[in-house]
Structure formats: structure tokens, C-alpha cells
């Protein structure tokens, strides 16, 4: 049975004992385990029903950990990115050191590391004295959790859920890869391409939307982050919908059909607010027995809108027109 609470020392004790603890970060809740303990990490894959080919992010609270977890020579640009964006929602993928067990990286030679900015996450990592492997605390392929209740809804085999309220950013970190001499964004997130290109001018958005046999980042799977009800993306909503259809609009200024279930993601279309409320809105409609399908309004693909549309296309993938 899951236990939810606010006791950081208890959470840290669980992690030191090789147990699983879900904890808040500024992006979404993570499902954490001691990254240096392969048995503990194996429990993450089991609890999430996550395929073993999908590597985990390692969370740290001290910059010294970079030297321990990555292999030398460490790419100069790691430190440039760290200086600009940590602590914060940027995961850096780089060649790993031998300290990282293979199960964390799905057998790969690289590891994704990030220093979250959420004070509880930092306090927890500090209290354990360990790097924490933590994917988003959802069942594989389902909606990411932005509250402790979202975690409890999906995952049963968690020893403790550290409750820090709703997460602030609401979508997962930007994942950037520094291998092979070039720099690529594998997953868009709150730190945008434009922000990163000010530090590393030749950074590119990955064009890879590859199949499961050849994944640079399994976060690139076409279907992901999906509610258990059909989602349809609309630039313009249809003129009318039935009573069992929910409409999720960017703001009250959107053109909305008359409908029974309406949810606004922001007061005025502010994309940061839309991101913060996105998963939570889909969770609510997923839980609402009076709703069969959801129609979600697309947003402009600028700044964090790129990450929002990435998540929405994945949520709606099986229902997108060919």
C-alpha cells in the first residue's frame, strides 16, 4: 500500500534501504531509488511497468557529483549548461562513469543527469547522500503526475510518496544530448531551444521520431503521456459537441462550442500557465465518469509551446489524422 506524507527523513531512510519513494520536482513527480543500487533501480522498472530499454535520469543536489557520475574528459559544454540552467528543468546526457549501474542507462554508455530546483527534491537528495534515479512517477505510457494523488492513482508498489503539493512547471525537463561532438535536444521541455542556443549556438532539435528498435531517447516514442480516454487535438473546435465530450481550451478567449464539460488551461493563453495545468486537466477528465473523450486546443509552437505540443501530440497520437 502507498503511504503519502511530508516526512523527508522517513523518505530518505526508505531510499537508503533500497525502497521506492515518489517525490516532487519542479517539473513532475519522480519515482526515485538509489541510482547506485541495481536492485533498487530494478524496482522502478517493475512498479512503472517500464520497458528495460528506456533509461532513467539521475538526480543530484551537488555539482561535485558531475565528476563522479560522468566519464572524463567531461565535455566543456556540460559546465556551460549547468551554469546557465541548474538547478532546473534540464537533463544533460553525456558518457557515464563506471559508478552508474547498467540498468540505469538500459545498457547504454551515456547517462542523463539533472539537478532539480524543487527545494524538497534537493533536501531529499541531500538527506540520502545519494544520487537518485527517477523517471516520472506514472505507469509507462500514461499521464505524468503533477500531484501526489496522481502518483497514488497509477502506482501501487511505492513505499512512500513525499507530498509537496502541485508541481510548478507541469511538464518534464528538456533532455539534451552532448555525445558525438554535436548537441541535440532529445525531448523539448521548459528550457527552450532559444534559451539553449544562447549558450550553445549549434544546438538542434532532434529530428528523430524513430521506431522502438532504434531510439536515441525513448521519450521520442510517438505515443506516450496518454490518458485512458481518447484525446483529439484541435486548432479550431467543432461547432457543437455532445454532453460526454470534454473541451480543454487554452483560455476563456478561445472559440468554444457549447458543452457540458469545459476546462481552461490558463486565464489568458499564457503558455507557462498552460503547461502547468496540462497534465492535471487530463487527469481530471480521465477520472470524470461523465466524460468519454477530450478535445484539446492546440497552442502556438513557440517557446514552451513546442514542449506542450510534443506532449499533446503524443497523448493524441492514435487519434491524429494521418
Residues near ligand TXA (CB under 6 A): 25, 27-28, 30, 54-57, 89, 91, 93, 105, 108, 110-112, 134-136, 172-173, 175, 186-187, 216-219
- 3-state SS of 120-172 is HHHHHHHHHCCCEECCECCCCCECCCCCHHHHHHHCCCCCEEECCCCCCCCCC
Cell numbers that stand for 54 in this block? 528506456
Q: Is beta strand 204-205 parallel, antiparallel or unpaired with respect to 231-234?
A: unpaired
By CB under 5 A, residue 167 contacts Mg ion = no
Q: Closer to ligand TXA by CB, 92 or 247: give it.
A: 92
Distance of alpha carbon 122 from alpha carbon 75, whole angstroms: 25
Q: Closer to ligand TXA by CB, 70 or 233: give it.
A: 70
**Least gap, CB of 105 to ligand TXA (angstroms):** 5
- Contact (CB, 8 A) for 262 and 256: yes
CA angle 115, 141, 257 (to 5 degrees): 105
Q: Closer to Mg ion by CB, 8 or 92: give it.
A: 92
**Least gap, CB of 222 to ligand TXA (angstroms):** 12
By CB under 5 A, residue 27 contacts Mg ion = no
> Hey, which residues between 261 and 300 contact Mg ion (CB under 5 A)?
none
Q: Which does 55 bind (CB under 5 to 8 A by kind): Mg ion, ligand TXA, none?
A: ligand TXA
Q: Closer to ligand TXA by CB, 226 or 245: give it.
A: 226
Whole-Å CA distances, 310 to 33, 106, 224:
28, 24, 10
Q: Closer to ligand TXA by CB, 190 or 233: give it.
A: 190
Using only the alpha carbons of the chain, give its radius of gyration: 19
Q: Which does 245 bind (CB under 5 to 8 A by kind): ligand TXA, Mg ion, none?
A: none
Q: Closer to Mg ion by CB, 112 or 131: give it.
A: 112
Q: Which residue is nearest to ligand TXA (CB)?
A: 219
* Buried-state track 86-125, b at ≥16 Cβ within 10 A, e below 16: bbbbbbbbbbbeeebbebbbbebebbbbbbbbbebbbbbb
**Least gap, CB of 67 to ligand TXA (angstroms):** 18
Spell out the residues 6+ positions from residue 199 whose beta carbon is closer than 8 angstroms to its own.
77, 80, 81, 84
Distance of alpha carbon 225 from alpha carbon 142, whole angstroms: 5
Whole-Å CA distances, 87 to 27, 51, 90, 241:
12, 29, 8, 44
Sole window of 59-67, 130-138, 197-205, 305-313 interacting with Mg ion (rule: CB under 5 A): 130-138
Question: CA torsion, points 146, 119, 84, 205, in degrees to nearest 10?
Answer: -20
Q: Closer to ligand TXA by CB, 34 or 110: give it.
A: 110
By CB under 5 A, residue 142 contacts Mg ion = no
Q: Closer to ligand TXA by CB, 54 or 126: give it.
A: 54
By CB under 5 A, residue 136 contacts Mg ion = yes
**Least gap, CB of 247 to ligand TXA (angstroms):** 28
**Least gap, CB of 280 to ligand TXA (angstroms):** 15
Query: Which residue has 502506482 as its cell numbers?
Result: 155
3-state secondary structure of 272: helix
Sole window of 97-105, 129-137, 239-247, 268-276 interacting with Mg ion (rule: CB under 5 A): 129-137
**Least gap, CB of 108 to ligand TXA (angstroms):** 5
- Contact (CB, 8 A) for 93 and 175: yes
**Least gap, CB of 191 to ligand TXA (angstroms):** 10
Which positions lie near Mg ion, rule CB under 5 A? 136
Amino acid at each position: 500500500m502507498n503511504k503519502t506524507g511530508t516526512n523527508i527523513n522517513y523518505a530518505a531512510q526508505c531510499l537508503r534501504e533500497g525502497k521506492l519513494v515518489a517525490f516532487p520536482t519542479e517539473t513532475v513527480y519522480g519515482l526515485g531509488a538509489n541510482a547506485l543500487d541495481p536492485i533498487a533501480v530494478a524496482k522502478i522498472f517493475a512498479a512503472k511497468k517500464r520497458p528495460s530499454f528506456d533509461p532513467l535520469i539521475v538526480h543530484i543536489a551537488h555539482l561535485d557529483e558531475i565528476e563522479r557520475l560522468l566519464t572524463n574528459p567531461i565535455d566543456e559544454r556540460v559546465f556551460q549548461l549547468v551554469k546557465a540552467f541548474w538547478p532546473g528543468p534540464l537533463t544533460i546526457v553525456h558518457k557515464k562513469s563506471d559508478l552508474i549501474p547498467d540498468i540505469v542507462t538500459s545498457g547504454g554508455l551515456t547517462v542523463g543527469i539533472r539537478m532539480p530546483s524543487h527545494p524538497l527534491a534537493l533536501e531529499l537528495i541531500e538527506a540520502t547522500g545519494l544520487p537518485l534515479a527517477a523517471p516520472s512517477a506514472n505507469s509507462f505510457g500514461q499521464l505524468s503526475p503533477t500531484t501526489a494523488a496522481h502518483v497514488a492513482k497509477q502506482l501501487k508498489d511505492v513505499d512512500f510518496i513525499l507530498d509537496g503539493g502541485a508541481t510548478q512547471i507541469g511538464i518534464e525537463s528538456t533532455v539534451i544530448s552532448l555525445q558525438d561532438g554535436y548537441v541535440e535536444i532529445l525531448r523539448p521541455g521548459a528550457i527552450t531551444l532559444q534559451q539553449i542556443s544562447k549558450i550553445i549556438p549549434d544546438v538542434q532539435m532532434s529530428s528523430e521520431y524513430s521506431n522502438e528498435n532504434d531510439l536515441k531517447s525513448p521519450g521520442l516514442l510517438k505515443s506516450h503521456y496518454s490518458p485512458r480516454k481518447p484525446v483529439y487535438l484541435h486548432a479550431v473546435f467543432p461547432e457543437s459537441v455532445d454532453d460526454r465530450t470534454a473541451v480543454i481550451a487554452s483560455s476563456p478567449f478561445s472559440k468554444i462550442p457549447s458543452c457540458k464539460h469545459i476546462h481552461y488551461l490558463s486565464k489568458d493563453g499564457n503558455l507557462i500557465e498552460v503547461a502547468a495545468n496540462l497534465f492535471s486537466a487530463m487527469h481530471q477528465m480521465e477520472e470524470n465518469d461523465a466524460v468519454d473523450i477530450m478535445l484539446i486546443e492546440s497552442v502556438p509552437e513557440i517557446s514552451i509551446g513546442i514542449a506542450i505540443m510534443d506532449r499533446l501530440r503524443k497523448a493524441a497520437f492514435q487519434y491524429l489524422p494521418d
